[in-house]
Structure 1
Amino acid sequence: MRTAVVITASTRAAAGVYDDRSGPIAAQALRQWGFHVDEPVVVADGPPVGEALRAAISSGADLVLTTGGTGLNPTDSTPEQTSPLLDRQVPGIPEALRAAGVANGVAGAILSRGLAGVAGRTLVVNLPGSTGGVRDAIDVLHPVVEHALDQIAGGDHRRE
């Protein structure tokens, strides 16, 4: 069984000001896809995101999804915490995520600075923090995640 980790980057949710709403959506989708995934890890924006990412990658997770911290707010730093951990970026994933948001009527989706890439044998994808953005991202990722993970593990290319 493949394993996944969901990390929510939200200073207010980490402080208990409000509940994490986006992380559970991602975790539930991953369970439906057959992944073993614990409850989302909720951390404050900034260095705690990098710490959580390093822990998830070192745990051997196949897939790590982050939610939040990808916008233009001065405290949004998920891409900056993610980038140094990636061995290779996969730019098509965040491009597709932004395009899906725009196609669904969310013009602001183009402002997401989220990244995706491979860290060791782990696929890491930054999702937006909104519940709608996470739902859109799940729709985009579902048809390609297994193929991506197969390739990361050394599998052959296949034509869809």
Structure 2
Amino acid sequence: MRWKVALLTASDKGSRGEREDTSAQVIRELIDEELGGEIVDYRVVPDDQDEIRAALIEMVDYYQADLVLTTGGIGLGLRDVTPEATMMIADRNVPGMAEVMRAAVSKDSASGMLFRGVCVIRNRTLIVNLPGEPKGVHEQLMAIMNVLPEALLQVKGLRKDEQ
């Protein structure tokens, strides 16, 4: 099955064109090579709760992405509001995935425990918050990559033998 994936970057500097979105490129490569997914929407918004929330709703409700991956805005800074915006539009929480992602980074660096990203479901879409730097994106996304196909099937209400 070819999964429809939307990608949202939360970055003040990125939204103003002052920073290249290198984390999004890492995500694109992993989605193509590891998941066999197709990027159906990509956008960069400021670290603003309302803008992040609106973009997530559109990606899920309009583009009907199977998976939405966010990058950026999950640290402890005052403008890091991606988890809050994500939780505001969530139907259900998937804490185990976020715990595995944090654990994967924390084993090599104590700063991994400062990542506040969440994994949630809205409608029949899985939303995963990733950090804003390429190394963290790679480590955290790879930590859950092996379970993503099964998780996406379950979110869609399907079983492995029904794909």
Shorter chain as denominator, the TM-score bin is over 0.9
CA distance in 2, matches of 1:126, 1:151: 19
Deviation of 1:138 (Å): 2.0
Letter in 2 for 1:84: M
Among 22, 41, 56, the alignment partner of 1:53 is 56
Q: Equivalent pairs: percent with the same residue?
A: 36
Deviation of 1:142 (Å): 1.1
User: Which is helix-richer, 1 or 2?
Assistant: 2
- In the other structure, the counterpart of 1:76 is 80
Deviation of 1:40 (Å): 3.3
Deviation of 1:116 (Å): 0.4
Q: Please say if residues 71 and 137 of structure 2, whose CA atoms lie closer than 8 Å, have aligned partners that are also in contact.
A: yes
Letter in 1 for 2:37: F
CA distance in 1, matches of 2:38, 2:147: 18
- In the other structure, the counterpart of 1:43 is 45
Among 74, 89, 94, the alignment partner of 2:93 is 89
Letter in 2 for 1:78: T
Among 139, 151, 155, the alignment partner of 1:136 is 139
Q: Give TM-score scaled by structure 2 length.
A: 0.91
Which structure 2 residues correspond to residues 140-159 of structure 1 after superposition, within 5 A? 140-156=143-159
Secondary structure class of the residue paired with 2:17: coil
Secondary structure class of the residue paired with 2:154: helix
Deviation of 1:83 (Å): 0.3
Secondary structure class of the residue paired with 2:104: helix
Q: Give TM-score scaled by structure 1 length.
A: 0.92
Q: Please say if residues 27 and 38 of structure 1, whose CA atoms lie closer than 8 Å, have aligned partners that are also in contact.
A: no
- In the other structure, the counterpart of 2:8 is 7
- In the other structure, the counterpart of 1:101 is 105
CA distance in 1, matches of 2:17, 2:41: 16
Secondary structure class of the residue paired with 1:83: helix
Figure out how many residues of one structure are paired with residues of the other and give that number: 157
Q: Please say if residues 27 and 39 of structure 1, whose CA atoms lie closer than 8 Å, have aligned partners that are also in contact.
A: no
CA distance in 2, matches of 1:115, 1:72: 14
The runs of at least 4 consecutive aligned structure 1 residues that moved more than 4 Å come to: none
**Structure 1 stretch displaced more, 106-115 or 63-72:** 106-115
State the superposition RMSD in angstroms.
1.6
Letter in 1 for 2:94: V
CA distance in 2, matches of 1:30, 1:131: 14
Letter in 2 for 1:64: V
CA distance in 2, matches of 1:83, 1:142: 22
Letter in 1 for 2:106: V
Which structure 2 segments of 5+ residues have no match? none
